[in-house]
Amino acid sequence: MRHIPQQLADLGIAIPEILLPRPSLDLEKWAVIACDQFTQDRAYWTQAAERVGSAPSTLHLIFPEIYLEDPGQTERIEGIHRAMRDYLRGNIFSAPQKGFIYLERRTPYHPCRRGLMLTVDLECYDWQVQARTLIRATEGTIAERLPPRMEVRRGATLESPHVILLIDDEADTLLPALGSQAKAVRPPLYHTPLQGGGVSGWLLDTEDSWAYLAQGLQALIHKTQDSAAAGDTFLFAVGDGNHSLASAKAIWEEYKCAHLGEPGLMAHPARWALVEVENLYDPGIAFEPIHRLIFGADLQAVLRLLSALPGFTHRPIARIEELVALVGDIKVAQSRLGLIAGTDLVLVEVATSGLATDYLQPLLDAFLRDTPGTSVDYIHGEEHLYKSVGSSGVSSVGLLLPPVKKSGLFETLSRRGPLPRKSFSMGEALEKRFYFECRRLFGLH
C-alpha cells in the first residue's frame, strides 16, 4: 500500500496544519459569516463591527463585499494584512493542529450539517470552462471579480476560508463514519454558538482515519467513472466560494511564475487552499436559488425583457407569501419567476425547462450591457430580496427564481461544464460558512 499522504496527494488533498483561536477568546465574536453575504444590508455589517469591537475576530481578516465600491480599498487591505501579522505574532492562536477537522454545524434551518476541513492542491483545480481537473467550478467565473480577492490574498500571512467543496456521496456514509471515528477518540477541539446556530469541530489525526478518507474518496471516483465521459471523472465540485478559490489559484500561478526554479517552490503553502468538504446529499444541505435584484429598471422594462422567452405570460399576485409559494411549486410544468417592484407583485410563466439561470442569465447580461444606468446584485433568500427592493433609493426590481434540484449536479457539470454564475446557493444566508479555522500562507514580512 502506498504511503497514506501520497494516496491523499493523488486525490488532490494534503494534511493541513490548522490554526485555531485560543479557547479563552470569545469564539462567538471570532467567527464571522462569509464576506459575500448581506451585500445589500450595510446595517448587518455595521452591527457585526459593533458587536466585535476590538476583540480578536476574523472580521478583521476579511473584506466584506458590501464595501468593495467604497473609497479606501487599499487602506482596508493593508489593515487586513496588518491584523494577520498581529494575530500570528500575538497570543491569539493555539498550537497548530496537524490533521483534518470533522465539523458539525447547526443552523436556524437544519439541526446538523457535516463537513471536513482539509487542504486541496490548487494544481488539481481550474475554473476554466474546458477544465477536466479533479476539482471543478460549478458556476461561471467572472475574471473582473477576482482582483480585489487576489489583492487580499497576495502577501497575506493567513487564510481563513469560506470555500465549500462538494462530494457526490449519494449513500451519505463517508462523512458520518469519519464523524463517529472522531467522536470516539476525544472531545471536540471547539464548540461555539454562531449567529442563529452553532458549530463544533473534532480533530482527525490518526493514520487509520486518513486511510479511511482516502479509500472512501477513491471509491467515489470509481463510482462516477461508469457514467462520465472517458477520462472525465472528477471528485470535488465547488459549492460555495467559486471566486475565492479562483483567486487562490491565480495567486499561486502568479507566485509560481515569479519563483520558477527556486528550491522548495512546489511545497510552498500557497499551492494549497484550506476548504471545507461537504456531501451534496447531506440532509442538512438545501439548495436554494440565488435571486436577482435589478437596479435602474422598472417593472415594465423587466416584463418586456422576459417577454422574449417562449410561452411568456404574467399576472399580478396579491401577497408575497402567495408569490413565493407559486414560484416554489416544483409540480407545475412551466418555469415560474416572480417579480417584486415596490408593492407590485407579478408571477411570470414561461415554456422552458431546465435551470432557470440557463435561459435567464444571457437575457439579463444583454439587458445590462445595452441599458445604461442598470446593474444587478445577487441575493440569497426571498425575505432578504423582498426587503432589498427599493432600499437603496434607486428604482429596482427583484427577480425571484424557482427551486434548484441537487440530484444530477455532478453529471451536469461533467456534461456541460460550469453552470451560469450564481445559479444556486447552499442554503439561506445565515447558513453560509462562518470563518473560524486559519492556516499560515505567506511568511511574516
Q: Is residue 418 part of a domain?
A: no
- Same-domain pairing of 299 and 271: no
For residues 273 and 337, membership in a common domain is answered with no
In a domain, 423, yes or no: no
Task: Give the pLDDT confidence score for residue 437 in this predicted structure.
Answer: 98
Each residue's pLDDT expressed in tens, for the chain with a length of 445 residues: 457 889 999 999 999 999 999 999 999 999 999 999 998 899 999 999 999 999 999 999 999 999 998 999 999 999 999 999 999 999 999 999 999 999 999 999 999 999 999 999 999 999 887 778 999 998 888 888 899 999 999 989 999 999 999 999 999 999 999 999 999 989 999 999 998 899 999 999 999 999 999 999 999 988 766 555 545 678 999 999 999 999 999 999 999 999 999 999 999 999 999 999 999 999 999 888 899 999 999 999 999 999 999 999 999 999 999 999 999 998 887 899 999 999 999 999 999 877 888 889 999 999 999 999 999 999 988 888 998 997 777 899 999 999 888 787 888 788 778 888 888 888 888 999 999 999 999 976 4
Structural domain contains residue 413: no
Q: Decide if 154 contacts 251 (C-beta within 8 A).
A: yes
Cβ atoms within 10 A of the Cβ of 258, count? 9
Residues 334 and 306 in one domain: yes
Range of the domain at 297: 290-403
Predicted local distance difference test score (pLDDT) of residue 1:
41
In a shared domain, residues 174 and 130: yes
Residues 294 and 167 in one domain: no
Q: What is the pTM of this model?
A: 0.85
422 assigned to some structural domain: no
Q: Is residue 358 part of a domain?
A: yes
pLDDT at residue number 370: 94
CATH classification at residue 299 = 3.30.1760
Coil, strand or helix: which one is 111?
A: coil
User: 298 and 280 in one domain?
Assistant: no
Question: 331: how many CB neighbours lie within 10 A of its CB?
Answer: 4
User: Does 191 lie in the same domain as 307?
Assistant: no
Number of compact structural domains in the chain: 2
Of 327, 263, 247, 339, nearest in space to 294 by CA: 339
Contact 57/30 with Cβ under 8 angstroms? yes
Task: Indicate the pairing of strand 135-137 with strand 272-279.
Answer: unpaired
**218 and 201 within one domain:** yes
Give just the sign of the alpha carbon dihedral 435, 437, 440, 441: negative
3-state helix, strand, coil in the chain (%, to 5): 35, 25, 40
- What's the CA gap between 123 and 285, in Å, rounded? 28
> Is residue 408 in a domain?
no
Please tell me whether residues 235 and 368 are part of one structural domain: no
